[in-house]
Chains A and B, each alone.
Chain A
Amino acid sequence: MVQTPPPALAAGIEKFVFPGETEPVLAGISLTLVPGSLTAVLGGSGSGKSTLGRLLAGWLLPGDGGTLTGFFELAGTTVRFTGTAADPQIDPGRWGRQVGFVPQDPAGALSTVRVTVAEELAFGLENAGVDRASMAGAVRDTAALTGLAHLLDRDPATLSGGQLRRLAIGCAVIQRPAVLVMDEPFASLDTDGAEVLAALVRNLAQDGTAVVIMSQRAEPFLHTADTWLVLTGGTVAATGTPAEIVAAGALEMAGVIRPRPLTVARPRAGVDYQSAVNGPTALELRDVSFTYRRTRRRGWFKSQPGPPADPVLHGLSLTLDAGEILAVTGPNASGKSTLLRHLNGLLQPTAGSVLVQGRNIGGHPAGQVSRDVGLLFQQPRDQLFERTVEREVRFGLGRDGLAADQAVQRALAAVGLDHLAGRHPAELPASQQRLLALATVLARRPSVLALDEPTVSLDGPGLDRLDRVVRSTTADGNAVVLVTHDLDYARSIAHRLVCLEAGRLRGI
């Protein structure tokens, strides 16, 4: 008989209830992670993946964080919870040394008390009292493994979305935990980054790490997993090998996205492609160049100018007609988000000009330009700041109460959130946060819609909403620019696909 190795981590969650709620968010989940295995937890928006991940990783502590009935078995020690005050306490620091975690929002992993990428990577080691020479080695190795080697001296606050994801992954793997839990780690990574991550996970598994990946997308890489666990409504809908689950058709029912096969082959064309609508020019960029002023954090505020940085945009030109959908793709850190911030004046080009509806927006405050150009930020967290969903959408809609009411209603209905008007935005699952951010943009009825990675963290139904919104805005004669790493999605929706590389756009 083959002896099975003891699990690195096992969990039996009979029930987990958030404080002040009556319905459990998780129920009837059992999970065994053996060393060297890869497990994927798949599920749609709100299915409980992130809650499960945070519980396993000790980021959400039974007791203060909610009431748990069940048990964890970590490295041979079992802790039982009965949902009473007599339950044991988890020491997050000791737990974290065994279980690494990459949260869904990569910025949430950062200490924010460290000013360079290298120090941020070393942070966990510092707290474990590792000596400086070993730390330096570990930082170098981890940076090389995650593609951060050229960024070690950068301030984490100035990283692009994909770079930030790599940093969060680096912070989790640098301590070589026995168990690694990652929540949507592939989101915002370019193809190269996804390959690097896949290789990293394979290596870790070979070295005996038990890896768990939470995802709403059944990425091709996840098909190599040993086990899939499909969650719906906080319970296990199906479990087994990927082949078994695909055969049973459990993914579709759970709202998990399968990277879509190309249905319709659209006529492809490059930069010169004329849109079907061929309307007046909605947006024009003429020879736009931009360089971030590199600042070094010293003293109380950021001040001292550092060495000059490389230009991010370099003589970039672009025209967009009314009714047109343009998809922009490109590797991480190529300047896609930077480009979108130029469209509503949040950033001003160092050279060149941006024209919206034929008007040069140079020198106009971003608040004014934003009447015409709506920007969906890459991280919904950067876009949302109000106390309730409704207040969030209403912000800046003007004094006319009735008109504002209607605009709020319309926008919330368009993204399917009208039943959540009273909720706190921070409590929503990531996909609903994204849709809410989209609603705040739609409510203003801009004539140009700039969407930064709108598909990230959307599940199947969420994607359908987005599709409908994009198509109906363009049908009304508005233009859409969207940034995405998902080429299939881009091809399925855009009239034109361009790639941002070396500061310029080129057609593909």
Chain B
Amino acid sequence: MNLDFQQFIPSLPYILKGIGVTLQIVSLAGILGFALGIILSFFKISRFKFLGWIADAYTSVFRGTPLVLQLMLIYYGSPQLIGYKIDPSTAAILSFGLNSAAYISEIIRAGILAVDKGQSEAAMALGVPYRPAMMDIILPQAMKNILPALMNEFITLTKESAIVTVIGVTDVMRRAYIVGGEKFSYFEPILIAGLIYYIMVMILTLLGKGIERRMRRSD
């Protein structure tokens, strides 16, 4: 096996620039997924069965089909759906956000249900209405328990984001591929991309551990 990383050094900055693209997609999708996930999780625990039904159907569809299919559906379908073609990174943020909302809503739902029922009873007994009790008493406790699972979802998102390559977003993966095409050698640049993803995931993992430790200190 002969590896020649030397010839790829000039291309390194180009590949590294993809980190910004990847992080932008992942963080915006993460925020979208989290916000929508919270709403869906409220639907799932709602008294109104209809809302729960909607949220369950949503989750079922997004978990039951491939992410890459959802990505392509949104990207190539946008002209028919909304009348114009959205740009690839918007499609990526949308599809990843919508997809991870399905998973995050399940995580949050479980987290809320895992909070001792006595907590909401204590709030109720003090005359605290449902919404503030949820926001101030139940959710903060749920969040603490589900932080590791959320972090996991975020890490998965980071890795999975590599599939945006198929719709031409110039993320780390795509750039490595392009560089490989220029030099007629794919092995090294893709190895480089692999290393970059691995380092990003490790940093996220450490970050998650740090936050967890800090939260645990408060109790």
The answer to whether A binds B is: no
A residues with a Cβ closer than 8 A to B are none
Q: Which residues of B contact A (CB under 8 A)?
A: none
